[in-house]
Amino acid sequence: MREVFTMWKYTRMVVLVALTAAMYAAVLIPFKLLPIIPGITEVRPANVFPVICSLMFGPAGAWGAAFGNLIGDLMGGTYGLGSYVGMLGNFWFGYIPYRMWRLLSKNEPVPWGFSKLLRYLPITLLASLACGVQIGWGLDTLGLVPFHVLAPLITVNNFITAAILGPLLLPVLYPRVKRWGLLYHDIMEPEDLSTGTIPHVGHLLLWVALLGSLYFGISMSLGVTDAASINLGFGLEITIPIELLVSMGDNVAVGILPFLVLLLVSCLMI
């Protein structure tokens, strides 16, 4: 993850942070008038920007998503302590796509095609999950909105928007950004871009961290504490001891914290 720090020595990357934040906030603010949960979240067509800016601008897209969400809250009248949780969630939303694309594909996102769509959608889902569970955990911890309500809502809201609008906007914007020499790997030196030592293990652990966060977070938020069993067929069955996590704490805040730590560790690995 060192590129999220080394990028600040490149003037053009700093400009791209500001550009991403401005675009994101400019589309977020008008839709504050269409809340899903008043003061918390709303209809967000702007959710496409963290993903496509991540693929174009790399770490600048991650920082731009974080600052853009904060600006949107400040200017849209929804600013509060939860806005800083939103910054972190949107940072992951803008960080994961370009890191995973670098790992899973040796080709650029364009020219667009079906095979690239098959890579784009799981990556977008992974980023949406990271944003959803991070914000859901934070606002549940603050006592604002239950995890089982907010985390799935943000995940679905983010994914649907980025899955529909991304394939429409990216093929139009990416070639132009490339011609202007503003792709992150054209600006930053290779030594400033991190490469994980065991990235594919990190990829697997990232799915475990996010799906585990969502599953156990919803279970604990709803007060489910019994062990759950999953039948895999062929006589194989996995028992998930929810009570084991509950014993670590009496709420979501402590219960899924190990998964959020795993989220950070897995991002360091990829």
Residue after which a domain boundary falls, among 134, 169, 192:
192
Domain co-membership, 214 together with 89? no
Residues 53 and 150 in one domain: yes
Residues 219 and 88 in one domain: no
Shared domain check, 235 and 163: no
Q: Record the tokens describing residue 137, joined without a space.
A: 């955990």
Domain range for 26? 3-192
Please answer whether residues 45 and 165 qualify as being in contact, where contact means their C-beta atoms are separated by less than 8 angstroms: yes
Domain count along the chain:
2
Do 222 and 153 belong together in one domain? no
Question: If DSSP codes are grouped into helix, strand and coil, which group holds residue 7?
Answer: helix
119 and 248 together in one domain: no
pLDDT for 194 equals 81
Q: Is 14 in contact with 63 (CB distance < 8 Å)?
A: no
For the stretch 155-173, pLDDT in tens is 999 999 999 999 999 999 9
Cβ atoms of residues 157 and 131 within 8 Å: no
Q: Are residues 127 and 248 in the same domain?
A: no
Q: Which residues contact 261 (CB under 8 A, 6 or more apart)?
A: none
Task: Let me know if 9 is exposed, middle or buried by CB neighbors in 10 A (0-12, 13-18, 19+).
Answer: exposed
- Looking at the fold, whether 119 and 234 belong to one and the same domain comes out as no
- Do the bridges between strand 35-37 and strand 41-42 make them parallel or antiparallel, or are there none, so unpaired? antiparallel
Q: Is the peptide bond before 111 cis (omega within 30 degrees of 0)?
A: yes
- Which residue, of 171, 192, 213, is where some domain finishes? 192
**Which residues of the chain are modeled with pLDDT < 70?**
32-35, 37-42, 225-250
pLDDT of residue 77: 77
Q: What is the pLDDT of residue 82?
A: 86
Instruction: Answer whether 202's CB lies under 8 Å from 267's CB.
Output: yes
Q: Is 236 helix (H, G, I), strand (E, B) or coil?
A: strand
Same domain, 244 and 182: no
